[in-house]
Structure 1
Amino acid sequence: MPFRLVCVLPVLTLVVAATAHAQSLNSGECISDLDALAPYMLANDAGSADYVAQRGRASFDAALATARTTAAAAPNDQACLKVLRNYLRSAFRRSHLSLRQIDPTVPNAVRASAGAPSFRLLSRQTALIIIPTFADQAGAAIEALIKEHAKDIAQRPNLLVDVRANGGGSDWTYKPLLALAEANIRRDVGAQIWATPANAAASRAACDVFAPLSQQCRDRMRQEAEAIDRAPAGTFIAQPGERPLEIVEPRDVVPHPRRIGVLVDKGCASTCEEFLIAMRQSFKVKLFGQSSTGSLDYSNLRPWTLPSGKRRLMYATTRSLRLPEFAVDLAGIPPDQVLPTPRGAEDRERELAQVQRVLESARQ
């Protein structure tokens, strides 16, 4: 199973910098950052060459020329940030690619704003698990929640798992949920790392930005950087300790519900989408709601600070081995049953009730 680090915000491209005031901009500074972006992305981002090939070099060059004109007139850092973000979206892609202002007054860490996982009994037939995030720090809580309520889950034929607005995190965190869905052979498809010296350096710096207190992160990133160091530059290599394709045999280690409904929306991204792909392979799982974000084909974000030192790029260093046959980024992962997009808290609760009704209507 691929280790995915990190996407704990629903749409990283649109994240607003923490600084509340616009700073003055040195002449030419914005253009220097812009001019550094294109060669860095083409050399190190795992998906950039694919996107440029799809759209054509002329379109790519035109996007850069337009951005240079706008960057030259940027009056402050916030205006420059907007120019650079627009350029990344127009020249490359919208998902798993972001740029943010570096605020020296806050620690170098990505904070997940989503809450803790929770459990509810909806009826004598159906239990509910709500998973707002698969962020690294949520893994222990998810495992503990399932252990605490194992008896309640086992006594009911139906389980509803709500992953709406779950922006992702690390794949290992959802393994306890996969155990509840085991019913048949599952096929887990991995990803390959784009090996460059810059990506090795970015892997070594990743935990300082993403998870400074996680030893698991540091161990994993050290292995990854060492593997990249050993590889020829400009090649795709296997992720350390992982297989390109893993055939997972079903086990019977926990009491299983007979039917599982997964409630999803457009906020389910990255690792959350990997979770959907794994879960829906089970014969007893159905997806409900709306299509997911579409942010999975190019993944495993790593940081790079632009020449100005004021802005940090987050870019993808892996490409899924599902490509090109099974692309997720184009339209997301569709549900088995489509539900209207909820407009507020009451609609969200009605969505839960609708899925519960479907589960409890099953004849067997």
Structure 2
Amino acid sequence: MKNLLRILLAAAAVLGLLPAGAQTPAGVAVSDFDYAVDVVERAYAGYPDKTAGREAEYAALKRRLRSEISGDRDVYDAIAEYLGWFDDSHLGTPGVRTYRPKSIHRNPDYAGRMKRYAPQFTHCRVDADTYLIRFPSCDPADAGVAGVQAAVDAYLASGCANLILDIRGNGGGSDSAYEPLLKLLYDHEGVEDGMEYRVSDIAIAHVREFAGNTERGRRKIARMERTPSGEFLAGGSKTYRIRYDSVSPRPRRAALLIDGAVGSSGEQLVLEVRASSHRTTVYGQDNTLGCLDFSNCEILYFPRDTTRWMMLPTTRSYRVAAGRGIDKTGIAPDVRIPLPLPGTLTDNVDEWAVWVAEDLKNNRKK
């Protein structure tokens, strides 16, 4: 079963850009800190793994933050530090990146290193042999997502043998958004890791929202209601199959172009392409973000200040227990591009796309 990610790109931007907020009297708002701790400990799918072997450190963190809140520390800044300690890009609130180790140490800062970094949905020829589809978002609300099938049709009508699927900047959204692209690249049946729910009222509400009107969803809810809160739901499939009824004769060779901003559903696309497409090579310079091991997120609003929110993952990938989690390192490309960053990445055919097109023709004889 594919992950169903309830994440808007706008919300992802807010996570990194908004300040923690104005000062709030500690006696009034401290319960919002306690609320954050409560939902993390009873419902966050990453809690058992993230605290294992670090129990004393975690307890000390909570004591210190509560002490600081009782002084003059802004409670929402303290919540940001608390959530940042878990170092999970799917667990967040405004201001959390200031405290998340991964965000501090692995920030590629493309906007600061390029004249303009604003990938936009586009599709066009790169040269006589290669077509480019730039797909920078899996958010169903983005206009580009609605045009994905049209882009696939335009590529097939172009006669180009090769294809570059450029997902730089794709921070996620919904897996269903990339379905036409995966189907285009698919050339053999693949298998990917499934996920498991950590049972809570929040997780049950998530399943009700997305699958509660289906027989499968109702069976899952019934199993969750019989499972003690805090435990992982047993009995689910640990893998799922990627299978289509046919294989497109083109592209002959394909490139999947990534960068360090690719996360969530963007990373799921990378994994599924690798599992089901021998003809596709993954290109990039940086590993992806690493934002997928814990997913199926819910947006929760604080009880004291209902304008403020936090995002909480309810599921864990089976690859975590198998020791194959990707969040610490991200996903590495097959080929590291040996060029400086392009000057501009918008709806243009940039230097990297041109280089990849040449490499496909000259070095990828699949």
Q: Is TM-score (shorter-chain normalized) higher than 0.5?
A: yes
Q: Structure 1 length normalisation: TM-score?
A: 0.80
Q: After the TM superposition, list the runs of 4 or more consecutive aligned residues in structure 1 that deviate by more than 4 angstroms.
A: 10-13, 221-226
Identical columns (%): 26
1:305 maps onto 2:307 in alignment: no
Structure 1 residue aligned with 2:65: 67
The equivalent of 2:311 in structure 1 is 314
Query: Could you tell me which amino acid in structure 2 is paired with residue 258 of structure 1?
Result: R
1:363–1:203 Cα change, 3 Å:
closer
The answer to whether the Cα contact below 8 Å between 1:195 and 1:236 also exists between their aligned partners in 2 is: yes
Distance 2:80 2:14 in 1: 7
Which SS does the other structure have where 1:127 is aligned?
Answer: strand
CA contact (8 A) 2:138 2:170 kept: yes
Gaps of 5+ in 1: 102-113, 205-217
The answer (yes or no) to whether the contact 2:126–2:353 under 8 Å persists in 1 is no
Consecutive unaligned residues of structure 2, counting only runs of 5 or more, are 96-117
Aligned twin of 1:295: 291
CA contact (8 A) 1:30 1:80 kept: yes
Contact 1:261-1:285 within 8 A present in 2 as well: yes
Question: Normalised by the size of structure 2, how large is the TM-score?
Answer: 0.79
CA distance in 2, matches of 1:5, 1:314: 11
Partner of 1:48: 47
Structure 2 residue 1 is matched with structure 1 residue 6:
no
1:142 maps to what in 2?
148
1:25 paired to 2:16:
no
Contact 2:186 2:248 in 1 (8 A): no
Distance 1:336 1:12 in 2: 28
Aligned residue number for residue 352 of structure 2:
351
Note if contact 1:259-1:285 (Cα within 8 Å) is conserved in structure 2: yes
Q: Does 1:236 align with 2:237?
A: no
Number of residue pairs the alignment of both structures matches: 328
1:1-364 maps to which residues of 2 (within 5 A)?
A: 1-9=1-9, 14-17=15-18, 23=22, 25-54=24-53, 56-74=54-72, 79-90=74-85, 92-100=86-94, 117-138=121-142, 139-152=145-158, 155-201=159-205, 218-220=209-211, 227-228=220-221, 230-231=223-224, 232-234=227-229, 235-237=231-233, 243-249=237-243, 251-281=245-275, 282-289=277-284, 290-310=286-306, 311-323=308-320, 324-339=322-337, 342=341, 344-345=343-344, 349-362=350-363, 364=365
CA contact (8 A) 1:4 1:171 kept: yes
Q: In 2 relative to 1, CA 64–227 (structure 1 residues): closer, same or farther, beyond 3 Å?
A: same
**Aligned residue in 2 for 1:107:** none
Say whether the 8 Å CA contact 1:267–1:292 is kept in structure 2.
yes
Q: Distance in 2 between matches of 1:3 and 1:345?
A: 32
